[in-house]
Amino acid sequence: MSTVLPPPVRIEHELSEGAFGPISSGNMEGLPVAVKELRASCSEEEELAFFREAFIISQFNHSNVMRVLAVSLSGKKVQSFAVESILVI
């Protein structure tokens, strides 16, 4: 079963479990992406750390750092973010 994030990111399958929740492979308009999701049972501290991670990574512009391509929000809460994927699945 696939989950669809707000367009245009489509989650294909779970790869592993990260500190904040599942990490999945996905697709964004033909580009392979990795999607980091925030689990529903997280604390406020974990939620803030997840937001900080997405924000900090999004500030980088370097060929050796994967770019944040999309962020999924629910109100003011970051639910997930997609980054470039170099993993061939």
Q: Which domains does the chain have, with CATH numbers?
A: 9-84 (3.30.200.20)
What pLDDT was estimated at residue 79?
80
What pLDDT was estimated at residue 1?
41
What pLDDT was estimated at residue 78?
67
What is the β-pairing status of strands 77-84 and 68-74?
A: antiparallel
Is the Cα torsion angle 25, 27, 32, 33 positive or negative in sign? negative
Per run of 10 residues, the mean pLDDT along the chain (length 89 residues) is 58 91 89 87 90 88 82 72 65
| pTM for this model (two decimals) | 0.75
